[in-house]
Amino acid sequence: MLLVIDAGNSNLTLGVFGGTELLAQWRLLTDRDKSAEQYGLEIRELFERDSIEVKSIDSIAIASVIPQLDEAFVQTALNDFGVKPLFIDHTTKTGLKLLYDTPSELGADRIVDAAAALAKYGAPCIVVDFGTATTFNAVNAAHEYLGGVIAPGLKISAEALFSRTAKLPRVEIKRPEKVIATSTSGAMKSGLYHGYAGLVDGILEKMIAEMGSRPRVIATGGLAPVIAGACKYIEKIDETLTLDGLRLIYERNNPQITQI
């Protein structure tokens, strides 16, 4: 069985695969100050809650954008599971040719998303990952990772609005009943929701034109279900895309596993 960890700036998303089946998934808050022992305890508690044996894990794959936590993840993998983890980076075999100017700058999550979208949906494709930042990642028909866009995430945008205004209240980020609001909170909801959908559509429109083809556009990330429905170019929400990508990349890099 395979444990996969997507270590993002705000959340750690974990999944356990038995073969190709995702048996369990969990989300934890990212805490840069936690030790390997603390993370190990939390993960063991999740396993116990879902009746999964820790000793059943024989492989671990990690996509991390938090370098200061990588050593803690290594120690957790070794101490709690007795497994040396595979960290995904620009040197890992993914099935993609990376055309980034400096591939080492490319976040592991962006690589994993692109590889997963290629494997699951074909190319050309664009993945929009709604996380702490919203990333747009483009793959052409030749299986080349062309690059993409990084924009402030929806929650970052909302927090900036709340923190820099004296009278505006915090509001829930969800689709408002109408665009033209008749209250301050309604106006904020409309601005956040429709404004962000406009940002996403505007970027996608320009990316599609630049690619010169009609790619499939897939959304993932914690906020994908909130905003993707308002975006005209997004055709599919895949909430487990990153976890699936970690599994697929692990299989590609482990010669003992038959390729799927």
Q: Is 85 left (phi over 0), alpha (psi -120 to 50) or beta?
A: beta
Q: Are strands 59-64 and 86-87 parallel, antiparallel or unpaired?
A: parallel
65: amino acid identity, one letter: V
Domain 97-245 superfamily per CATH: ATPase, nucleotide binding domain (3.30.420.40)
**Topology alike, domains 2-87 and 97-245:** yes
126 neighbors 217 (Cβ within 8 angstroms): yes
Range of weakest confidence among 98-102, 134-138, 183-187, 190-194:
183-187
Q: What percent of the chain has pLDDT over 90?
A: 81
6 neighbors 112 (Cβ within 8 angstroms): yes
What's the pLDDT at 173?
83
Active site residue 80: no
Query: What pairs with residue 139 in β-bridges?
Result: 125, 145
> In CATH, what number does 2-87 get?
3.30.420.40
Confidence of residue 258 (pLDDT cuts 50, 70, 90): very low
Catalytic residue among 109, 129, 238, 244: 109
- Burial class from Cβ neighbours inside 10 Å (0-12, 13-18, 19+) for residue 64 reads buried
pLDDT digits (tens, 9 = 90+) for 131-150: 999 999 999 999 999 999 99
pTM for this one?
0.91
What's the pLDDT at 256?
58
Confidence of residue 260 (pLDDT cuts 50, 70, 90): very low
